[in-house]
Amino acid sequence: MSLYRDEGVVLRTQKLGEADRIVTILTKRTGKVRAVAKGVRRTTSRFGARLEPFTHVDLQLHVGRSLDVVTQAETLRPYGEALIADYPRYTSGSAMLETADRLTVGEKEPALRQFLLLIGGLRTLVEGNHEARLVLDAYFLRSLAVAGYAPALESCARCSAQSVRAFAIVAGGVVCGACRPAGAAVPAAETLALMVALLRGDWPSADASESRHRTECSGLVAAYLQWHIEHGIRSLRHVERV
C-alpha cells in the first residue's frame, strides 16, 4: 500500500527546508501521522490553508521511508478560521491540540476515540455556547478518561469510601480522610461537582457554576493532566482564562 486516504485534524506544523513543512495529523483510522507537505509555505501552494493547525482535512498520503508525504488535501472544516478571531479560544484550542499530540504517543496506532473527542472539543469551542476554559477542562478530563486516566471523583480512589475529603493527584482523584496523602488539595464540594459535570458532559450544571469554582477546577485538572502524561503542556501557560 503506497497510497492511502484518511481524514484527520492537523495538530501542529514544523518548518522543513526551504518551503516544506512536517505536519502532524491525528487521523480517524491510522492514528497519529507525521507527513511532509511539500512546497506548502509557498504562496502559490495548492495546499493553501488546508494544512494549517485546527483544520479537519480529507487527505491522501503516500507512504514514505521515514515520513509519509501528503499528496492531496481537501478541507472538511477549518476550525482555525473561527478560533483566530477570538484569542482566548485560540489559546484554549492550542492546548487541546498539544494534549491530543501528547496523549497519542505512538505513530500510526489507531486512536479513534481521541480523534472523535478532539473533533467534538473543537466544534464546541468554535460554537461558543460555553466558556472556553470549561470546554478546555471538559476536553482534558475526557481525553484523560479515554487514555485510561479518568480521575475518581465520587468515591475514594484508594478504598472506594463514599465520604471524600480531598483531591490527591498521586492517588488518582478524590480520597477519604483515612487515605488522604500529605499535600492533597481540599477543593470546594462545588468544584468537585463541576469536574463531575464536565466529565459527564452535563453542560447546564457546568454553565451554572461560579467563577471561583471554575478557577479551582482548572488548576486541579491542569495539574492532574500534566502529572499523568509526565510532561508539561506548554500552551497552558498562554491560555487566557477570561
Partner 1 sequence: MYEGVVQNLIDELGLLPGVGPKSAQRIAFHLLSADPTDVKRLAHALLEVKEKVRFCRVCGNVAAEDDCRICRDARRDLHVICVVEESKDVVAIERTREFRGRYHVLGGAISPIDGIGPDDLRIRELMTRLADGQVTELILATDPNLEGEATATYLARLVKPMGVKVTRLASGLPVGGDLEYADEVTLGRAFEGRRLLDV
Which residues contact partner 1 (rule: CB under 8 A)?
12, 17-18, 43-44, 46-50, 52-54, 75, 78, 80-81, 84-87, 90-91, 94-95, 97-98, 234-235, 237-239
What is the C-alpha separation between 60 and 118, in angstroms, rounded? 21
Cα 77 → chain centroid:
17
Provide the minimum distance between the beta carbon of 124 and partner 1 in the complex, in angstroms, as a whole number: 19
Q: In the bound complex, what is the minimum distance in angstroms from residue 128's beta carbon to partner 1?
A: 15
Long-range contacts of 18-24 (CB under 8 A, 24+ apart): 19/45, 21/51, 22/67, 23/51, 23/70, 24/101
Nearer to partner 1, 209 or 218 (CB): 218
Find the shortest distance in angstroms from Cβ 90 to partner 1. 5
Q: If you ran DSSP here, which 8-state letter would residue 216 be given?
A: H
Nearer to partner 1, 155 or 235 (CB): 235
Strands 32-37 and 68-78: parallel
Smallest separation (angstroms) from partner 1 to the CB of 111: 19
Cell of 139: 476536553
Residue 125 or 156: the one with the smaller Cβ distance to partner 1 is: 125
Question: Would you say 18 or 230 has its CB closer to partner 1?
Answer: 18
- Interatomic CA distance for residues 210 and 194, integer angstroms: 9
